[in-house]
């Protein structure tokens, strides 16, 4: 699957996340920050960032169910 296809699939699912979830995912996977750096930036514990990432990624997986090729 190409980048365009991935964006088309993830766009609506990503938009459905809470703003904080989108922020944390962006900081982690776009900006490349560590969980500790994200925690410091948004004012929560590293453990809370870990939970936010887990929850956000689970929500994305549930919404984007791609059939194997």
User: DSSP characters for 45-57?
Assistant: -HHHHHHHHHHHH
Question: How is residue 39 written in tokens?
Answer: 């925690």
Q: What domains can be seen in the chain, in order of their start residue?
A: 3-63 (1.10.10.10)
Q: What is the DSSP string of 13-47?
A: HHHTS-HHHHHHHIIIIIS---HHHHHHHHTS-HH
pLDDT, tens digit (0-9, with 9 covering 90-100), for 13-25:
888 999 999 999 9
> What is the rounded end-to-end Cα distance, in angstroms, of the chain?
10
pLDDT at res. 43? 97
pLDDT tens digits, 48-60: 999 999 999 999 9
- pTM of the prediction? 0.81
Q: How confident is the model at residue 1 (pLDDT cuts 50, 70, 90)?
A: low
C-beta separation of 64 from 10 below 8 A: yes
């Amino acid at each position: 699957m190409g980048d365009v296809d991935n964006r088309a699939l993830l766009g609506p699912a990503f938009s459905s996340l809470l703003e904080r979830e989108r922020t944390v995912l962006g900081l982690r996977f776009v900006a490349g920050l560590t969980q500790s750096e994200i925690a410091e930036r948004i004012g929560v514990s590293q453990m809370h960032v870990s939970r936010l990432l887990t929850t956000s990624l689970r929500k994305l997986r549930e919404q984007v169910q791609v059939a194997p090729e």
